[in-house]
């Protein structure tokens, strides 16, 4: 069965015995789980390749297996193993490449592991696709960290947030015209990997698209201090434990709910031939920008309990301000986010309350 994106944002299975599945590397993670569920609900087969090392991913896999049974195949392995990747890429029509080392702090502690996972792992995926006669398309998730620390963006304190002095940036955010400036080993590895993804479209004719993502949040996210901060703040608040903020809390990010991201994925997939070789900023934009302090306040009003906050010094590579200008992707596809921060946070809050009492389920992995 080959799966193709449809106009309504869902996917359509078509009969082709040579193509049995879509591959999602890192498919047991937060984004991968949501994408897999959407596709499985539409009747497509999904293969997940994941080393199951992150907290919460086994719970995600168990949930997918309960809901979809044999339609989902889980391969417990690592993208750093080229032989495993080659086998996983066989007989698939499309690859979502989400597998990565995702934390700046971890990259600073172990830059070699960061490089091998993010760069070598991505090269393994690209080479496996290149070796196929009928090459699947690829969507790769990069990061806004490829733009560096943005220290040259002049900011002023405006209430509980920073605001850019430059009027254009304040109105639109950071666009793809911004020069790349890799900071920290994580920024270097993700930036190098995305350049390989783009160049394999130029050099070898692969159909690839890169998303430089801002802060994504939603159900099935088990956030930590290092990654997934929106969910992490809410999880800490529900547990009535203090939230640690690194810096002064005026830092601003645009946040994007997972459903809006998935719509962007399927639009890019449907138009992969026209968009191939390009990188796009994807995020909530100016209308969905919040500071850390503003999010803490929103969580307090939602839960009826003001979270405790403690402050620590800023960390290496932290951007004081990043808001996505997604105009390039919007103009190419018509995409725009629909879910407000208030609605998205409420949906994440409801999911966390529903799953706190869930019992773990045994996994079936190969």
Catalytic residues: 186
Distance CA 253, CA 233 (A): 14
All residues at 6 or more sequence positions from 243 whose CB lies less than 8 Å from its CB, including other chains: 232, 233, 236, 237, 296, 307, 308, 309, 310
Q: Which helix (H) or strand (E) holds 264?
A: helix 258-270
DSSP state of 178: S
Long-range interactions of 264-268: CB distance < 8 A, separation 24+ = 264/211, 264/329, 264/333, 264/335, 265/35, 265/96, 265/139, 265/211, 266/5, 266/9, 266/10, 266/11, 267/5, 267/9, 267/333, 267/334, 267/335, 268/139, 268/209, 268/211, 268/329, 268/333
Residue with tokens 């869930």: 358
Q: Which residues of 128-155 are buried (b: 16+ CB within 10 A; e: fewer)?
A: bbeeeeebbbbbbbbbbbbbbbbeebeb
Beta pairing, strands 278-282 & 208-213: parallel
- Between CA 345 and CA 217 the distance in angstroms is 8
Instruction: State how far the Cα of 199 lies from the Cα of 183, in Å rounded to an integer.
Output: 21
Provide DSSP, 53-111.
Answer: -STTHHHHHHHHHHHHGGGEEEEE--TT-HHHHHHHHTTEEEEEE------HHHHHH-H
Q: How many beta carbons lie within 10 A of that of residue 308, not counting itself? A: 13
């Amino acid at each position: 069965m080959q799966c193709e994106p449809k106009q309504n944002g869902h996917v359509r299975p078509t009969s082709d015995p040579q193509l049995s599945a879509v591959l999602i590397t890192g498919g047991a993670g937060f984004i991968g789980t949501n994408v897999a569920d959407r596709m499985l609900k539409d009747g497509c087969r999904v293969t997940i390749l994941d080393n199951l090392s992150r907290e919460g991913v086994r719970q995600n896999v168990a949930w997918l297996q309960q809901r979809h049974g044999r339609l989902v195949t889980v391969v417990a392995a690592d993208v750093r193993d080229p032989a495993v990747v080659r086998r996983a890429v066989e007989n698939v029509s499309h690859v979502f490449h989400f597998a990565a080392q995702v934390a700046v702090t971890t990259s600073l502690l172990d830059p070699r592991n960061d490089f091998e996972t993010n760069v070598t792992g991505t090269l393994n995926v690209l080479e496996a696709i290149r070796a196929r006669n009928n090459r699947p398309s690829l969507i790769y998730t990069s990061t806004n960290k490829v733009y560096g620390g943005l220290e040259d963006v002049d900011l002023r304190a405006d209430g509980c947030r920073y605001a850019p002095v430059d009027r254009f940036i304040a109105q639109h955010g950071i666009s793809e015209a911004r020069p790349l400036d890799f900071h920290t080993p994580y920024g270097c590895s993700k930036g190098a990997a995305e350049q390989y993804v783009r160049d394999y479209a130029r050099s070898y004719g692969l159909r690839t698209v890169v998303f430089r993502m801002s802060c994504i949040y939603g159900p099935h996210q088990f956030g930590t201090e290092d990654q997934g901060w929106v969910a992490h703040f809410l999880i800490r608040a529900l547990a009535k434990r203090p939230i640690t903020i690194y810096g002064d809390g005026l830092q601003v990010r645009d946040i994007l709910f997972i459903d809006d991201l998935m719509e962007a994925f399927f639009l890019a997939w449907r138009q992969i031939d026209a968009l191939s070789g390009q990188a796009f900023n994807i995020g909530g934009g100016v209308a969905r920008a919040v500071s850390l302090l503003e999010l803490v306040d929103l969580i307090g009003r939602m839960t009826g309990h003001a979270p405790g906050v403690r402050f620590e010094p800023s960390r290496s590579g932290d951007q004081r301000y990043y808001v996505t200008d997604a105009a390039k992707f919007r103009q190419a596809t018509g995409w725009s986010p629909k879910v407000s921060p208030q609605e998205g946070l409420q949906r994440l809050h409801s999911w966390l309350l529903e799953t706190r009492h869930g019992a773990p389920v045994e996994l079936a992995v190969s």
